[in-house]
Amino acid sequence: MAEARWSLNGMTALVTGGTRGIGYAIVEELAGFGARVHTCSRNEKELNDRVLEWKSKGLQVTGSVCDLSSVSDRKKLMETVSSLFDGKLNILKSCLDHTSEDYSSVVGTNLESPYHLCQLGHPLLKASEQGSVVFISSVAGLVSLPMVSVYSATKGIIHNQIHDPFFPGDGIIFKLLPSRKLDKFELMIFLEDINVQGQSIN
């Protein structure tokens, strides 16, 4: 009964960084509720292994190799998503983390890529009429932590940017989630939010 209530049958989702950690868990949950999910990773072998794993579980998950710090790769990713999902996207989930202490890499991956993906995905999200964008937050976005000041800065900007609507009037929901695995209750709240028309800032 509960799963029927939270059904995502017929909905589509793009989850970046979905082969491990939080992204992996979110891919499984969204697909488990019936959504068609596309994910990406820089590691082709890991991506292929995960896609085969999800297929064996009966989940509708596809994947493509993508370096999210690359503008051209992000554009190619969104073109793939548009083709797979007939020009519509319900959920854009950005699960990004820093992979290098190099400034340009951290900023390109944690800040520039989610912002650019929002711009690229806007036509698809709007076309779905039930679009949602989800960012992973962190305590580092509120308090600068030693040794990861650049990472903290990128999280802080995302945390503040979400309170300034990207696409006012388009009914696209924006959501911040904590940087840890979601329990079932938190996932239910998230699923409830994506079925609400309008702007949701949390």
Task: Tell me which residues are annotated as active site.
Answer: 151
Q: What whole-number distance in Å separates Cα of residue 107 and Cα of residue 150?
A: 8
Q: Please answer whether residues 50 and 26 qualify as being in contact, where contact means their C-beta atoms are separated by less than 8 angstroms.
A: no
Q: Which residue has the tokens 């983390």?
A: 97
Residues belonging to the chain? 202
Q: Please answer whether residues 38 and 30 qualify as being in contact, where contact means their C-beta atoms are separated by less than 8 angstroms.
A: no
Angle, CA of 171, 130 and 132, to the nearest 5°: 80
Q: Please answer whether residues 109 and 69 qualify as being in contact, where contact means their C-beta atoms are separated by less than 8 angstroms.
A: yes
Q: What whole-number distance in Å separates Cα of residue 2 and Cα of residue 147?
A: 44
Strand partners, 175: 134
